[in-house]
Structure 1
């Protein structure tokens, strides 16, 4: 397990829960905790599957976004549903996290403001993740 985001307000962990070599892909259990001044919300997304190439492209997009004034980086699951979107505008970063039931019974989204210097930390943590592909 590793922390993709870890600050005083938002914590996002990724824990490998499956691997498929036929379509090089990996599943993560995604843990999300958002701490607000007087409340706390937690979400757990189980077995969220991503193509390995999508993770590599997302990492590359994050590294590029660090040096840009504005833009976005998106990581989508195998069904092409966005799970993580980081949008940068000057010094502000918006992290959006989405979860959708595969039976299409419901969906949830979380949108949290952050700072542009966090993007390099996120890209670094994703780059340090031990990849086997």
Structure 2
């Protein structure tokens, strides 16, 4: 298994452990690595903020973003590093699902295997 897939699986595990498992997720090829999706009413998804649901995407080239399914053409960057620690990602996603978009905490904590992921990705083709 490549390190990008391992990272994505670790994030999914952290989200699931926090009770925030997405309703859908998909691994993609190239730099767009994984998409996570939640529907209104799932877990603590704020249906007023996200009436059609929300998606979160990650790729090694430009990191973490969220997409309001009501405005799918607009990607909003999330305030943490490309290889943010999975538990920090899960915490920010919890806040995001609650509709707490403003003031998401910036995070500089890296996943403990970030150096391997970045080294592997530097040598990988998109």
TM-score after normalising by structure 2: 0.30
Structure with greater helix percent: 2
Higher strand share: 1
TM-score normalised by the chain length of structure 1:
0.29
